[in-house]
Structure 1
Amino acid sequence: MASESSTHKAEDFSKSGEIDLAALEKNTSNSLGTVEDPTQPSRDLGLLAIISIGWNICNSWAGIAATLAISIASGGPVTLIYGIIIIFILGGACALSMAEIASVHPTAGGQYHWTSILAPKSASRGLSYWCGAVNVFGWIATSAGFIITFPTMALALASFWHPDYTVETWHVFLIFQAMNFIMVAYNIFLLKRTIWLQDVGFFLSLIAFFVITITCLAESNPKQSSDFVWKEFVNTSGWSSDGVVFLTGLVNPNFIFSGLDGAIHLAEECTNAAVAVPRALVSTVVIGFVTALVFAIGMCYSYHDFDAVLASPFPALEIWYQATSSRNVATFFLVVLNTITLFAISGAIQTASRLTWSFARDDAVVLAPYLSRIHPKWGVPVWSLIANSACVFVLGCVYLGSSTAFNALVSTGIILQQLSFAFPAALMLYRRATGTLNEVMPFTKIGFRLRFGVGPVANVLTIVMALLALVFYDLPVVLPVTVGNMNYSCAVIGVMGLLSLANWFGYATRKYQGPRLEHIN
């Protein structure tokens, strides 16, 4: 009877578009675990665990190491170093915007739930659906992007030791699919029994950062000149405008916050989520900025042959080799980096499945009755994990046909992530402008309120970041444009939009009524 009653309240909320704060508070207590709910995952993530997972997904310095090739061709050290500072400001604004809302409404749906809450009732259902679709596709693409780094590094190491070895597309494909299967199996059968492993990943990452950075700076000789590191703009892209090159090259620094919303989608598995999730967001940004900037500066000083770095299939490995003059040390560093990547892959798969599960729980996607189930024994959304893995498998098959098309699929993860942040940020501005923010954000109970005008500024910068990503990350990185170097991100986003539209008219328009009230914290 209690379940039936809450469902009626959810329907009333969805139809009226108004928030009943008393009902909201009551249902919040239910979702926080004071009432048993067999459809909900267990809350077994403490503060350190949620911070560790949020960090392991972004792993900012490791993200820089894995994607150095982009910045090297698009501005060189200037784009990398100054880009990290710019992305810290914009990414920090995104984190603050989301942390403020998450402290009131910590929910696995995250951005699309908040969009439903903040939007005018006439637009709530449609806007929240599209925000959710953008976010789901973004996380599937992000998961594939994380997985592809593993075979990329592994095979770069093989080429490093065996120069005669030629990396074939099918080699990458097989390792990619093996990692996809292994990490999904781990998430289904072992994740809930080994939550502590994420803490290990967090500390391993920080230790590796210190060891690699200090070793390279101490051992490298000669070092790169300060003029080259801080002043010389490298443009090998073919673009005549250095400004365009710099902005397109920001996608590499932007990887320091790839998957920034990871902690948000694990809110319903976190104890005291209203406090823990905002702290996870802020700590990820702060620690990520410091480690990424220090690592980037250290690496830029540690190599002396820029052309060799530019020609390397994995620039970080070449930098480490030049810095230490030891193949064994460079190999060890790359093995550690690839080990850290495993934690990022696991966290991304975990987070993506929780978002898919939440979207299905709200009847927004086909096969929702299956995708919304939590397995009674394993305590995870098994069908959502399998569905996401199937999508990643298909993306891997695209790689067999065209690595360029696959890279476009992966790069859309960053673009769609930023767009999903912009939905609630824009609606927060709308609520502030209309003086109705208190109706949906009970500030008397908020634990992370942005004061002194910080909130509106953070919201505006979040929207700016989304527009920057949407425009410049879709441009080709090099000119002249050919079939092999074209940036197909626009086409990929268009296909994802068509799939979302088909799902809307084929299923969601009849079933989706917006997030159910009892699931909005």
Structure 2
Amino acid sequence: MKTTEIKLSAAGMLAPIGDEDEGRVEVVNKYLGTQDDRLDMDRLGKVQKLRRNFRFLSIVGFSAVLGSTWEWALVVAGISTVNGGPAGAIWLFLIVCFGMFFVTLSMAEMALMAPTSGGQYHWVSEFAPKKFQKIASYVVGWLCVLGWQGAMASSMFAAAQQFEALIALNIPTYSIHGWHGTLLSIAIALLAIVFNTVLVRKLRIFEGIALVLHGFGFIAFMVVLWLLSPRSDVGQTWTDFQDNTGWGNPGLATLVGILGPIVTLVGGDSVCHLSEELRDASWVLPRSVVVSAIVNYGLGFIMTVTIMMTRGDLETVMETNTGQVYVQVVINATRSRVGTSILTAAVAVLLVFCSSNSVTTASRQLFAFSRDKGLPFSKWISTVSVPFAPG
């Protein structure tokens, strides 16, 4: 495959070197986006270094897989069940959705005005009082970088826990130890890095596979749990606030349980950090942020209500040797180790894809902040070599 050479124009846009033939002009248009994209980059004072491969559907799919809200709703079911009970889990999920949606709308509006991979720290530099712009932007930039690095570790450890549950489910003598999760997390991290480097050109194919599995996995869990599991009383489920950890007050325990829905819904800014890889970003980005939020909130809420309505006896599911409450709920419903293993494996694989997408987002955040010289070794970190090749 022949690679087209690219040079930087004075305005910060890319242009081909040599013959200005029609084919090369198409290459530039394909990878640099629309005229509005180029004007946005020029207005923001940034140089286009990344391909604009994403469109509306692909970026919404990316966000859905990264968010993995129904998967995370299953994983954190134990936190909410112990701290607040079923009613606490359901109502706090709605409260967190309500609050985070207004944050999402604000991000969408700022993304429309400044579609840059820097995201929050760039917006802070624009809207903070002039005398605080630099320091506030610098602090927020570090918080975003560290936050996404932590999010990567959380996603990978959550995926590792599902593999541990899968082993415990099929080998009754297996005992889960902390170092098992650490080693599995490292393996998943290496796999996610391979997806984002060696297999980066195939990433869109894997994203498509993950999105299909994400959809069908949700349907499978809905069918299994609603058809096979015992039903809890609707009134009790929505009104039974519990303190199962000795806080002494169900209300206080419920507030502690807010960690569950927050973990489930965090990461709504993920697509903002891919704005420089999104075609027609100023139009597509704000809409994709809002649509992604609505889809993720909906799937997460439905799964939260489902797992709380079909959980069965609380003490039984909490004593599971798999370390995952939902796994015990599923095996109680199906009475099948094989069927439960398939559903658990689906969650594990989807969280591996979630980890891969977390690496994608975190790397863009890291690149953007380094480009603005916010990190040590910024010049080295922000160096990007992208062959603008046709095809």
1:49-96 CA distances to partner (integer Å, 9 max, x unpaired)? 111111111111111111112111101211211111111101111110
d(CA) in 1 for partners of 2:65 and 2:319?
29
Equivalence for 2:21: none
The alpha-carbon deviation at position 33 of structure 1 amounts to 9.3
Is structure 2 residue 212 aligned with structure 1 residue 203? Answer: yes
Q: Which residue of 1 aligns with 2:373?
A: 363
- Counterpart code for 1:185: V
Aligned partner of 2:51 in structure 1 is: 42
TM-score, length basis structure 1: 0.65
1:308 deviation in Å?
A: 1.5
Distance in 1, Cα, partners of 2:259 & 2:63: 20
- Counterpart secondary structure, 2:38: helix
Instruction: Output aligned runs, 1:55-134, within 5 Å.
Output: 55-134=64-143
Name which of 172, 178, 182 aligns with 2:181.
Answer: 172
Q: What's the % identity of the aligned pairs?
A: 24
Partner of 2:304: 296
Determine the structure 2 residue equivalent to 1:483.
none
1:141 equivalent among 119, 139, 150: 150
Give, as a single letter, the amino acid of the residue that structure 2 aligns with 1:78. Answer: A
Q: Which 5+ residue runs of structure 2 have no aligned equivalent?
A: 1-6, 14-34
Contact 1:64 1:292 in 2 (8 A): yes
Q: Which amino acid aligns with 1:242?
A: P
Q: Which residue of 2 aligns with 1:341?
A: 351
Q: CA deviation at 1:377?
A: 4.8
Tell me the amino acid that sits aligned with residue 223 of structure 1.
Answer: R
Aligned: 1:232 with 2:240? yes
Between the two proteins, the alignment pairs up a number of residues equal to 358
Q: How far does residue 292 in structure 1 lie from its aligned partner after superposition?
A: 1.5
1:282 and 2:290 aligned: yes
Which residue of structure 1 lines up, in the alignment, with residue 267 of structure 2? 259
What code does the residue aligned with 1:164 have? T
1:176, distance to aligned residue in structure 2 (A): 1.1
- What does 1:412-491 correspond to in 2, within 5 Å? none
In 2 relative to 1, CA 107–38 (structure 1 residues): closer, same or farther, beyond 3 Å?
closer
- For the residues of structure 1 that align with 2:334 and 2:173, how far apart are their CA atoms? 23
* Residue matched to 2:22: none
Distance 1:145 1:107 in 2: 25
- Partners in 2 of 1:193 and 1:322 — Cα distance? 39
Aligned amino acid, residue 153 of structure 1: Q
Moved more, 276-285 or 356-365: 276-285
Instruction: Report the residue type matching 2:221 in the other structure.
Output: I
- Per-residue CA shift, 1:431-468, capped at 9, x if unaligned? xxxxxxxxxxxxxxxxxxxxxxxxxxxxxxxxxxxxxx
Residue matched to 2:26: none
TM-score in terms of structure 2 length: 0.86
1:311-356 alpha-carbon deviations (Å, 9 max, x no partner)? 2210010111112222221111111111111221111000000000
Does the aligned pair in 2 maintain the 1:216–1:323 contact within 8 Å? yes
Q: State the distance in 2 between where 1:205 and 1:2 align.
A: 40
Residue number in structure 2 paired with 1:158: 167
CA distance in 2, matches of 1:346, 1:59: 12
Cα RMSD between the aligned structures? 2.4
Please list every run of 5 or more consecutive structure 1 residues that lacks an aligned counterpart in the other structure. 8-25, 380-521
Aligned AA for 1:274?
Answer: S
Q: Is the 8 A contact 1:303 1:323 kept in 2?
A: no
Task: Verify: 1:248 aligned to 2:225, yes or no.
Answer: no
Residue aligning to 1:218 = 227
Report the equivalent of 1:331: 341
CA contact (8 A) 2:116 2:275 kept: yes
C-alpha distance after superposition, 1:136-166 (max 9, x if no partner): 1000000000000122111112112222211
Distance 1:272 1:39 in 2: 13
